[in-house]
Amino acid sequence: MQPREFLNTKMIEAIGNSVVRAEPDAAVLRLGVTTQAEEPAEAVQQNAEKMAKVIAAVKKQKIDESAIQTADLQLESVTKWDEDSQTEILVGYRATNVIQVTAPIDRAVAVYDAGVKAGVNTAGGLRFVVTDDKKYRREGLAQATKAAIDEIHAVAKALGTKLDGPLVAEVMEVVPPPLIDYHFAAADEIGAATPIIPGRVEITSRVRVVYEIKAT
């Protein structure tokens, strides 16, 4: 829908996209603990004790407390189907606590393995990031803007029209990539350090540009 000030304006609109690749310098990990008990307070208490051990193990890898934050916290009932009564019956409660840790790449493996050995058993995930990505985002925005403008001029040329503008240049939100899920082995199954390969981070930009078609 056109804004009110452009209701009677003929326009050409395009969205430009760009992807800039950069070397990551940090990893974001999700480390979770799930516990189950007959009573909710018991499940929460067990979870708190195990998560305290996980956080302590993470900090021992030279990770500052400011780089650790709670990502998810849940308490839910656990039921099962009872054939005799033909109903769901309550069998206990499940508590889940997930923390997100930002670590330098050279310590990410140590953090991951230390967390698993300390009791992490759920919600694993990993994403590589560039902590200071302003330079790359500006480069990407410039490329995306140029791509949108080039498309608009190509359309105008094909139509044989001239342009005024731009009327609008809008930076559009780009959803960051999800964390990659990993299966956590039991602590006694872990031998050598977990291998990870950072690769390169893709920083995506998207810009919407609108030009007015010049009246003839």
pLDDT digits (tens, 9 = 90+) for 50-109: 999 999 999 999 999 999 999 999 999 999 998 888 899 999 999 999 999 999 988 998
Q: Which CATH architecture has domain 26-129?
A: 2-Layer Sandwich (3.30)
Q: Which CATH architecture has domain 1-23+132-183+199-216?
A: 2-Layer Sandwich (3.30)
All CATH 3.30.70.2970 domain ranges of the chain, comma separated, are 26-129
Q: Count how many residues are written for the chain.
A: 216
77 CB neighbour count, 10 Å cutoff: 11
Angle at 12 between CA 9 and CA 13, to 5 degrees: 115
Q: What pLDDT, in 10s, does the model give residues 155-181?
A: 999 999 999 989 999 999 887 665 554
The residues pairing with 15 across neighbouring beta strands, listed in sequence order, are: 208
All CATH 3.30.110.170 domain ranges of the chain, comma separated, are 1-23+132-183+199-216
Task: List, as one string, the DSSP characters of 144-201.
Answer: HHHHHHHHHHHHHHHHT--EEEEEEEEEPP-PPPPPEE-PPPPGGG--SPPP-----E
Mean pLDDT, the chain, rounded, equals: 87
| Contact predicate 25/104, CB 8 Å | yes
pTM summary value:
0.69
